Structure 1
Amino acid sequence: MGTVLRLDAPDGGPSSVALVWNISTTGISMLLHAPRPAGSELAGYLEPMLDEATLRVRMKVVHVKLLDTGDYFVGAHFDRPLTTEELKPFVADA
């Protein structure tokens, strides 16, 4: 199962898409093609690749790491904890 995060564009232009690497009720790690500085506030929609579910989320970036591929590994904390039910469409069944 794959999940993406469609991030709002600050200028109202096209959204950027992040590949969700890990997600929990309190935060997210993702791969992005451009850096987002620590402390940045982001918002967007979580979308599973094989489902119609979407969830609006807001978060604050806590760390950024440049990878050898040229992409960025970004970690962020949600502005509020997600419920188990909210999280369910975006994680694989254990």
Structure 2
Amino acid sequence: MSSAPTPAVAPNPSSERRVAPRRQPAMGTVCRLDSPDGGPSALALVWNISQSGISMLLNAPQPAGTVLAGYLESMVSDAMLRIAMKVVHVKPLDTGDYFIGAHFENPIAADDMKPFIAEE
């Protein structure tokens, strides 16, 4: 008696951890981080954003657990929003930059987020 090959089983997808949908930022959306020593602020390129958090590219690492504060800014309008966040992950990139994910200390209201997200 011959047995049929066992079909491949797809691995279980990782559980979804996002509490709010991620959105593509509007052109020119950056995050200007406060400097802890009063020097020049760091400028991060926003990769994606949601009401609960942000992913960004930064030229310096920020260890997980670090609390950061600064402003979401639009380089093409006068929109600016004060934010505080806690770093949840950091990944070095081949370019020498770092991909950083953080949760906002206080979620951003949908209306406050509008200037910083791309139109659908």
Number of aligned residue pairs: give it. Answer: 94
Which residue is 1:65 aligned to?
91
The answer as to 2:59 corresponding to 1:33 is yes
User: Which segments of 5 or more consecutive residues in structure 1 lack a partner in the other structure?
Assistant: none
1:2-60 Cα deviation digits (max 9, x unpaired): 21000000011110100000001000000000000000000001101211010000000
* Runs of 4 or more consecutive aligned structure 1 residues displaced over 4 Å after TM superposition: none
For residue 46 of structure 1, the aligned residue among 67, 72, 76 is: 72
Which residue is 2:115 aligned to?
89
The answer as to 2:56 corresponding to 1:56 is no
TM-score normalised by length of structure 1: 0.98
RMSD: 0.5
Query: 1 CA distance for matches of 2:92 and 2:99?
Result: 6
User: Which segments of 5 or more consecutive residues in structure 2 lack a partner in the other structure?
Assistant: 1-26
Query: 2 CA distance for matches of 1:24 and 1:16?
Result: 21
TM-score normalised by length of structure 2: 0.77
Task: Give 1 or 2: higher strand fraction.
Answer: 1
For residue 23 of structure 1, the aligned residue among 41, 49, 52 is: 49
1:52-85 Cα deviation digits (max 9, x unpaired): 0100000000000000111000000000111101
